[in-house]
Amino acid sequence: MTGAPRGVVALLALLITVVLTLAACGFRGRSSDDSNPNALALLVPAYSENTRAEWTAIIAGFRQQNPAVTVDLQVESWDAINDVVRTDLQSVTTTPDILNIDAYAGFAADDLLYPARDIVGPAALADLAPSFARNASIDGTQWALPLFASTRTLFYNTDLFARAGVEAPPKTWSELSDAARRIQALGGGISGYGLPLGSEESQGETSIWTFGAGGSWSDGHGITVTTPANLEGVRAMRDLATSGVTQPNPGSTDRKDVINAFVQGRIGMIEGLPPVLETIAKQNPGLRFATAPSPTKTGAAVTLGVADHLMAFRKHGNKQNAIRQFLDYFYSPAVYSTFVGAEHFIPITAGGTRELSEDPVTRTFAATLPVARFYPSGDPGWSAVQGAIRQQIGTVAQGTDPEQVLDRIARAPR
């Protein structure tokens, strides 16, 4: 998942092990039986060490109810899956019938996909969070099914807040700056705010600030970068970075590093995503923390939302019924909620949210879904702009003028 928490070193090592094991077992490059309308090929990424077992259980449950339909599962690491997809799509015989990945726009532009309405029933479509359904649409047609969500919310260390005399989590940028200054003043290697502007995923942190100024990366017709609101957000981020209230070298710090430092109790505040909860539970369960809405310029609620998607390739058009059977089964509340809960993300269906109402991730993050804003993933040009943000935005913490940085990003070839 773009924006998904793959930064923890141990998890990265695990995913590499998973993909090497799967490759050794011969899962890559298998042909899809395109002559059999009831034989489906499913290609998915590994979110955790349990992903393969979870999909295997889902397929087994589906087969009990639909014995005529077979589902051939292929699992790849996030590091490998984009290359696998590019290779597999060179031939109809190796193209998966159903794919789980983040981006769908290029496939839709090439007329390769079924519209979402053709691969899942109206009850499942109506159950999707409206903002995430819109984010899976181009010009009014929904081409993909959001799988689950990752949004951001402010995580703050309540012990450090108490020591610094900060009585409440900040709602505005000015309150954030003041709280970070007080926490930084505690000394002892404590940082006020974790600002990850390194190349790992700096488009995420940057978007929190540009959205918080009322900005956007798209005007609905094309990519927008050098808008006044975007510039205001980047300037506010630069001001925080250069005021000495963040971790050292924010321009080259990756997200995984600020998460780890927060979990260790060395940072007062970070913008966190759902698996941070599991990381805390595993690595430092005694950490005293709370969460609050992301601070913005005015205090109005907005956050960054990211979703991975399921999509179905039309190919010869003979597998629509089998695909619909499988996806209707998957999005049934009991099946869907079990998968989402095991992967520690946010459900994007009303039924899944009800099923997971007591889950810590859902309790913490479900309220962020209505105010989530998104990358313009429906625009094929976003990929190049996103890459340019990753490479360029960190320089604002090193003295480069934010307007110049946004100009360079806007000129990225796409």
pLDDT value for 35 = 82
Higher pLDDT, 20 or 341: 341
Average pLDDT over residues 111-116: 97
Which pLDDT score is estimated for 1?
Answer: 56
CB 293 within 8 A of CB 303: yes
> For the segment 216-249, what is each residue's pLDDT rounded down to a tens digit?
999 988 999 999 999 999 999 999 999 999 999 9
Pairing state of beta strands 289-292 and 153-157?
A: antiparallel
Percentage, residues of the chain above pLDDT 70: 92
Question: Given a cut of 50, is residue 4 above it in pLDDT?
Answer: no
The tens digit of pLDDT for each residue in 330-382 reads 999 999 999 999 998 999 999 999 999 999 999 999 889 889 999 988 787 88
For 162-219, the pLDDT digits (tens) are 999 999 999 999 999 999 999 999 999 999 999 999 998 899 999 999 999 999 999 9
Cα-based distances in Å from 314 to 11, 39, 149, 281, 317: 34, 14, 25, 42, 5
Q: What is the pLDDT of residue 16?
A: 34
Tell whether the model's pLDDT for residue 408 goes beyond 50: yes
Binning pLDDT at 50, 70 and 90, where does residue 2 land? very low
How many Cα atoms occupy the beta-carbon half-sphere of 23 within 13 Å?
A: 11
**pLDDT > 90 fraction of the chain, expressed in percent and rounded:** 79
pLDDT at 19: 36
More confident residue, 272 or 6: 272
The mean pLDDT value of the chain amounts to 90
Closest among 196, 178, 188, 174 to 390, alpha carbons compared: 196
Letter string b/e over residues 76-113, b meaning 16 or more CB atoms within 10 A of that residue's CB? bbbebbeebbeebbeeeebbbbbbbbbbbbebbeeebb
Confidence (pLDDT) at 413: 86
- Kindly report the backbone phi and psi dihedral angles of residue 70, in degrees, each rounded to the nearest multiple of 5, phi listed first: -105, 150
**Model confidence at 31, in pLDDT bands (50, 70, 90)?**
low
Instruction: Report the 10 Å Cβ neighbour count for 315.
Output: 16
End-to-end, the C-alpha distance of the chain in Å comes to 22
**What's the pTM?**
0.80
pLDDT value of residue 274: 92
For residue 131, the model assigns a pLDDT of 87
* Least-confidence region, from 21-35, 47-61, 174-188, 199-213: 21-35
